[in-house]
Structure 1
Amino acid sequence: MVRLLEKRQRTGSILTIFAIATFSLHLSAIFLLIFQGINIRQLSLRKPPNFVQLIDGKPANLPDVERQPEAIRQFVSKTMTSMFNWSGKLPPQSIEEVTQPQADAGISISTLRGGSQKVSTTSWIASFALSEDFRKGFLSQIAEMTPPEVFSNNPRQVISGQLAIKRVYPPEKIGLGKWRVGMVADLIQKRQADNRTIVTRFNKDLLVRAIDSFAEPQVDNTTVLQKAIYSVRADQLEIYEIRNLCLIDEYNNQNQDINVCGNRQRTDSFIK
C-alpha cells in the first residue's frame, strides 16, 4: 500500500513539473510574439531614408534635413523656369509630340480679385513644388499675370513667356532644414507676330525647406499629370515663401551682394 502511494506521488510530481514547464514555454512564446510585434510596428513607423540626387547624378543617403547647396540651386532654377514657361504648348509625352506639340488649353484658377483666369499646364504642375499654404495665392497671382493670348489659336495674337535667370545665389541656411536663395532674373514676354518684347525684372528671395519623402506611385494606376506631380516632389524640397530681393548694385554686376530690404516683411504680392 505504501509503495502504491509513493508511486502515485511520483507520477503527480512529474505531471505537475511537466505542466509548469509547458505553461512557462507558452508564456515565453507569448512574450516573444509581443516583442516581435512591437519591433515590427516601430519599423513600419520609421521614416524611410532620403535619397537625394547630387550634381553628378549619383544618389546619396542624407539626413532628413540635409541637402546639397547645388541641388537646392538647381531645384529653385528648375521650379521657377517651369513656373513661367508660357509657350502655349503642352509638355511632350512622346517623340512625336517633341516635333508636333499639342496646344495647351490652360487650367482655370480662381483669382484674388474674383473670377477665374488660366495658367499654363506647366505652371500648374510646377506649383506643386510650393508649400500647400503658399501655392494657392501664388497660382492666383500667376493667373493674373498670364496673358490670355498665351492660349490663343490665332498666330497673330499668341504671346509666349519665359524666365531668363541671370544668377542664383548660393543658399544661405536660415534654420534647421531651411534656406534662403536669392535669384536675379528677367521675365520676358514676346508676341509671336511682330516679336515685340516686354522685359520685367524678377529679382526675388526664395525661402526653401526640406520635406519628407513619400512612397512612389503605382505606375499602372497613375495619370500623366500625377506622375509629373510626383516627379516635382521627388526633390524633397519645397518653396514656402517668396520675397523681393534688393540689390546694392545693378543686377549685371557679378560682385554684387544681397542687401537687406527694410525689415524684409512678407507682402501680399511677390511681383516687384
Structure 2
Amino acid sequence: MQLLKSENKKTNILPMFAVGTLGVNILTLFVLMFHGSMLQRLNQQIALPSLVQLIDGRSITANPQENQERYQQTIRHFVGETMTLMLTWSQQLPPNTVWDISSQLVTDDFQPKLQTQINKLNSEKRISSSYQATEQILAIQRISQPEQIAEGKWKVEMIANLLVFHNSDRLGESIPINQQIFIQTTDEPVASLPQSPTALHLAAYRLGAARLQIYKVCDLKDKTCSEKLP
C-alpha cells in the first residue's frame, strides 16, 4: 500500500512539472520578443550617418533628419548666405543677373513681390544720390535664432547694412536693412545648374541643397507682418 501511494505521488508531480516548464518557456518567449522590439526601436533612433557625395566631388556624412526638420544653424546659414547673394552686385555682376540666379531660393508666388521690393530699394538709392551706384554689398551684423511658427516653417530677424559704392566715392554709404525673413522647407532641391555654371550658379545650387526657400520678407518694424498676411 505504501509503494502504491509513493508511485501515485510521483505520477501527480509530472503534470505539474510539465505545466511549470511550459509557463517558464512562454515567459522567456515574451521577454525575448520585448527585447527584440526594444532593439529595433533603438536601431531606428540611433541610425548611422549616411555618406553623401556632392556634385563637386566632395563627400560628407549626414545625420538622418525628418523631412520637415532643420538644424537652427542650417536655417541661419541659409538666410545669411541667400540674402547676401541676392543683395550683393557689381558692374561685372549686374542686379538682373544676380536676381535671375538667386530667385530660385525664393518661392514662386513671392518672387514678384520680393523683386519689386529690391527694385524699389535700388531706385531709392539712385534718387538719393547724385551718382549712380556701381557696387553694393550686404554686410550682416546679426541673424537671430530661428523661431518655429509651424511645421517646416521658421522666422528669423536680420540686422544688416547695405554698403553702396559710387565711382566718385569709394568710402560708400551705409543703408540699414533690418528685416523679418520667413523660411519654409521644400521636398526637393530648389536650384539647378546649367551646362556651364558660374560661381554664382554653384553658390545658389549649394544653398538650394538645404531644401529651404524664403516665402516672405517684411521690415523689422512692421507689426502687421504675420502668417495671415502673405
Alignment TM-score, normalising by the size of structure 1: 0.52
Q: Tell me the SS of whatever aligns to 1:62.
A: coil
Aligned length: 167
Aligned equivalents of 1:124, 1:64: Cα separation in 2: 27
Q: Tell me the SS of whatever aligns to 2:170.
A: coil
Aligned equivalents of 1:170, 1:265: Cα separation in 2: 18
Runs of 4+ in 1 over 6 A off after TM superposition: none
Deviations 1:211-267 (A, max 9, x none): 1125996x8x73427954544422200010011214xxxxxxxxxxxxxx544358x
Distance apart, 1:191 and its partner CA: 1.1
Distance apart, 1:60 and its partner CA: 2.7
Distance apart, 1:121 and its partner CA: 1.8
Deviations 1:188-211 (A, max 9, x none): 111132225222211111111111
Counterpart of 1:146 (choices 94, 119, 122) is 122
The residue aligned with 1:153 is none
Aligned equivalents of 1:231, 1:136: Cα separation in 2: 23
* Contact persistence 1:206–1:239 (CA under 8 A): yes
Unaligned runs of 5+ in 1: 1-48, 91-105, 107-118, 151-155, 247-260
Counterpart of 1:80 (choices 61, 80, 83) is 83
Check 1:168–1:159 CA distance in 2 against 1; reply closer, same or farther (3 A cut).
same
The residue aligned with 1:166 is 141
Counterpart of 2:67 (choices 39, 44, 64) is 64
Check 1:157–1:264 CA distance in 2 against 1; reply closer, same or farther (3 A cut).
closer
Do residues 187 (structure 1) and 187 (structure 2) align?
A: no
* Contact persistence 1:85–1:123 (CA under 8 A): no
Aligned equivalents of 2:215, 2:78: Cα separation in 1: 13
Do residues 206 (structure 1) and 167 (structure 2) align?
A: no
Matches for 1:1-272 after TM superposition, within 5 Å: 58-90=61-93, 106=94, 119-146=95-122, 159-214=134-189, 222-224=195-197, 228=202, 230-246=205-221, 262-264=223-225
Q: Tell me the SS of whatever aligns to 2:109.
A: helix
Identity %: 27
Deviations 1:39-87 (A, max 9, x none): xxxxxxxxxx9x7x9xxx6423311101000010000000000111122
Q: Tell me the SS of whatever aligns to 1:146.
A: helix
* Contact persistence 1:86–1:120 (CA under 8 A): no
Unaligned runs of 5+ in 2: 1-49, 55-59
Alignment TM-score, normalising by the size of structure 2: 0.61
Deviations 1:147-189 (A, max 9, x none): 6x99xxxxx9652111111100000111001101111111111
Deviations 1:87-123 (A, max 9, x none): 2224xxxxxxxxxxxxxxx4xxxxxxxxxxxx34223
Aligned equivalents of 1:81, 1:214: Cα separation in 2: 20
Distance apart, 1:141 and its partner CA: 2.7
Check 1:160–1:167 CA distance in 2 against 1; reply closer, same or farther (3 A cut).
same
Aligned equivalents of 2:191, 2:105: Cα separation in 1: 16
Letter in 2 for 1:142: I
Aligned equivalents of 1:216, 1:198: Cα separation in 2: 32
